[in-house]
């Protein structure tokens, strides 16, 4: 007998994880996805024999005890095949031809950073202590931020004496830690940190919460690590769909949610079935929204007027806009790739007023025989964060072409991107992401992990609307497949508690 009827909005990794876990635990689950392919920002597309990861290109949490490993073990499906990224990233600062290699081996990374930043070890030692305590705390599945007595109890249960060491640093930024350790004047170190943190927290060292930054900067080292999936990132969502269907849950693609009506006894979804061209309204015991927090408010109709709802809406209105992304996807001949090329690279270029925000690129390179390219070929995916607003103007085509040519010119300094080596060339923009993911303005990466939006001050899975839950990259611990999976597990536990 079913424990209850649940709708999940969005088949990204957060939505699929929540749906599969709820189905495994005895709920009648339907996952609605507006696109034709599941996976959200971790999905893929194919061109001329090449497979491109749309957004996310690396995974954390596959190690023993990691969040994906724990969840897949419960679901009874195998983890996708993967290899460790080592180095996790090779970072090139402006004017430098030798990278800063972020090695997985902790001792090797210590040697590297002492060579690169000779007076910074006190800072890295502090991060190591904070990360160890934070990681142990997170592994005990606290509910953060708590919103009722049960949540508070789970939070208290996760506390240990070692957690207390983090308390004095809870309201500090990464820049505050640099000042505390006497290395704030090291501009090269700060530039490196800003570049890395932007990937994970969406903001730089002056704004990133220290406790989040400690995790983001250390999670690529043993015994954790970043992983490269065999085949594509789609392997992760494929396994979750397998688990969902194994436990009798349903996935309906090409179904767009028009609204969540909260004025009834139970939340009601109005769903547009794009395949049948019809609109259906249905009530559910619970609705799990794998959306941005901004989009959740946009589709919620007739919510009960309460002080909590008003505060929630006002807070969302006051959030800084998340970033958009410009991404170039290249299918190239093997000759374009330098020997011993790392799987992930970051390039920061000297600032140019003409290109402004487009002066850094995060690059992912497929491995030989990893299923993403025909034999003798590779894929290159390069992305930069951009302000989404200008991409919806009349100069869209010109802007897209300009960014494409600028990106290829920059990448050509490291790769051999002569015309004969490029087989496939595509570009994705905020407008592209808005179309395929239905996210407002094509927002990516979630809520920035500032002190004001991190941990106890972050957005909770438990919303002010009864039996409506939020998962995904608007919820702590932020961006990435591991983060959204934590949010899904938290929401599932909370739903079980109230059912």
Q: How far apart are CA 364 and CA 432, in angstroms?
A: 20
3-state DSSP call for residue 228? Answer: strand
Q: What does the block give as tokens for 207?
A: 């704004």
What stretches of 334-480 adopt beta strand conformation (E)? 344-348, 360-365, 377-386, 422-428, 468-470
**What would the pLDDT profile of 277-286 be if each residue is shown by its tens digit?**
999 999 999 9
* Type and span of the H or E element at 261: strand 255-261
Write down the residue that tokens 């051999």 correspond to: 416
- HSE (CB half, 13 Å, CA atoms) of 403? 30
Average pLDDT in the chain? 93
pLDDT tier at 357 (50, 70, 90 boundaries)?
A: low
3-state DSSP call for residue 382? Answer: strand
Planar angle of CA 216, 384, 236, nearest 5 degrees:
60
Q: Are 409 and 398 in contact (CB under 8 A)?
A: no
- Compute the average pLDDT of residues 155-177: 96
Q: How far is CA 138 from CA 52, 57, 145, 154, 482, in A?
A: 32, 24, 12, 11, 12
The pLDDT of residue 476 is: 67
Q: What DSSP string describes 27-42?
A: -EEEEEESSSSSBGGG
3-state DSSP call for residue 318? Answer: coil
3-state DSSP call for residue 381? Answer: strand
pLDDT at residue 388 above 80?
Answer: yes
Q: Are strands 255-261 and 100-102 parallel, antiparallel or unpaired?
A: unpaired
**Local structure of residue 3 (DSSP, 8 states):** S
Q: How far apart are CA 383 and CA 176, in angstroms?
A: 29
pLDDT at residue 308 above 80?
Answer: no
153-157, 238-242, 473-477 — which is least confidently predicted? 473-477
3-state DSSP call for residue 85? Answer: coil
Phi, psi torsion values for 487, nearest 5 degrees:
-65, -40
**Local structure of residue 148 (DSSP, 8 states):** S
The pLDDT of residue 354 is: 47
98-112, 169-183, 296-310, 331-345 — which is least confidently predicted? 296-310
381 closest CA partner among 458, 327, 317: 327
Which pTM was predicted? 0.95
pLDDT at residue 477 above 60?
Answer: no
Domains along the sequence of the chain with CATH = 5-44+232-320+446-498 (3.50.50.60), 102-223 (no CATH), 324-440 (no CATH)
3-state DSSP call for residue 432? Answer: helix
Q: Are 32 and 10 in contact (CB under 8 A)?
A: yes
Q: How far apart are CA 270 and CA 279, in angstroms?
A: 7
**What would the pLDDT profile of 19-70 be if each residue is shown by its tens digit?**
999 999 999 999 999 999 999 888 999 999 999 999 888 999 999 999 999 9
CB atoms under 10 Å from CB of 409, counted, come to: 10
Q: What does the block give as tokens for 253?
A: 């693609």
3-state DSSP call for residue 221? Answer: coil
Calculated CA dihedral for residues 412, 416, 417, 420, nearest 10 degrees: 160
């Amino acid at each position: 007998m079913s424990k209850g009827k649940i709708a999940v909005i969005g088949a990204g990794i957060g939505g699929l994880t929540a749906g599969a876990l709820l189905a495994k635990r005895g709920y009648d689950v339907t996952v609605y996805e507006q696109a034709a392919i599941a996976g959200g920002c971790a999905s893929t597309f194919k061109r001329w024999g090449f497979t491109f990861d749309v957004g996310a290109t690396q995974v954390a949490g596959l190690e023993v005890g990691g969040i994906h490993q724990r969840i897949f073990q419960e679901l009874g499906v195998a983890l996708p095949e993967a290899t460790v990224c080592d180095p996790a990233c090779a970072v090139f600062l402006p004017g430098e031809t030798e990278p800063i290699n972020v090695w997985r081996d902790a001792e090797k990374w210590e040697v590297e950073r002492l060579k690169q930043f000779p007076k910074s070890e006190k800072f890295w030692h502090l991060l190591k202590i904070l990360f160890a305590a934070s990681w142990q705390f997170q592994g005990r599945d606290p509910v953060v931020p708590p919103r009722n007595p049960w949540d508070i109890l789970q939070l208290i249960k996760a506390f240990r004496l070692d957690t207390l060491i983090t308390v004095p640093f809870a309201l500090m930024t990464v820049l505050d830690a640099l000042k505390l350790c006497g290395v704030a004047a090291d501009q090269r170190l700060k530039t490196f940190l800003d570049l890395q943190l932007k990937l994970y927290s969406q903001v730089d060292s002056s704004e990133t919460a220290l406790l989040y930054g400690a995790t983001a900067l250390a999670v690529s080292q043993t015994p954790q690590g970043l992983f490269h999936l065999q085949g594509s990132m789609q392997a992760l969502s494929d396994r979750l769909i397998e688990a969902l269907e194994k436990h009798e849950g349903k996935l309906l693609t090409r179904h767009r949610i028009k609204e969540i009506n909260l004025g009834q006894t139970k939340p009601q979804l109005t769903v547009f079935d794009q395949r049948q061209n019809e609109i259906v309204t249905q009530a559910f015991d619970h609705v799990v929204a794998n959306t941005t927090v901004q989009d959740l408010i946009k589709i919620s109709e007739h919510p009960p007027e309460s002080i909590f709802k008003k505060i929630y809406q006002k807070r969302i209105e006051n959030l800084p806009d998340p970033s958009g992304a410009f991404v170039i996807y290249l299918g190239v001949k093997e000759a374009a790739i330098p020997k011993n090329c790392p799987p992930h690279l970051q390039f920061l270029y000297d600032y140019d007023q003409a290109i402004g925000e487009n002066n850094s690129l995060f690059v992912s390179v497929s491995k030989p025989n990893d299923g993403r390219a025909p034999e003798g070929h590779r894929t290159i995916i390069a992305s930069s964060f951009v302000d989404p607003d200008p991409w919806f103007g009349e100069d869209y085509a010109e802007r897209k072409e300009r960014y494409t040519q600028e990106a290829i010119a920059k990448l050509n300094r490291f790769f051999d991107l002569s015309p004969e080596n490029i087989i496939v060339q595509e570009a994705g923009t905020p407008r592209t992401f808005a179309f395929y993911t239905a996210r407002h303005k094509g927002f990516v990466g979630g809520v920035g992990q500032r002190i004001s939006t991190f941990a106890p001050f972050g957005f909770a899975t438990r919303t002010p609307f009864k039996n409506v839950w939020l998962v995904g990259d608007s919820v702590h611990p932020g961006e990435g497949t591991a983060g959204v999976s934590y949010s899904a597990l938290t929401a599932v536990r909370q739903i079980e508690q109230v059912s």
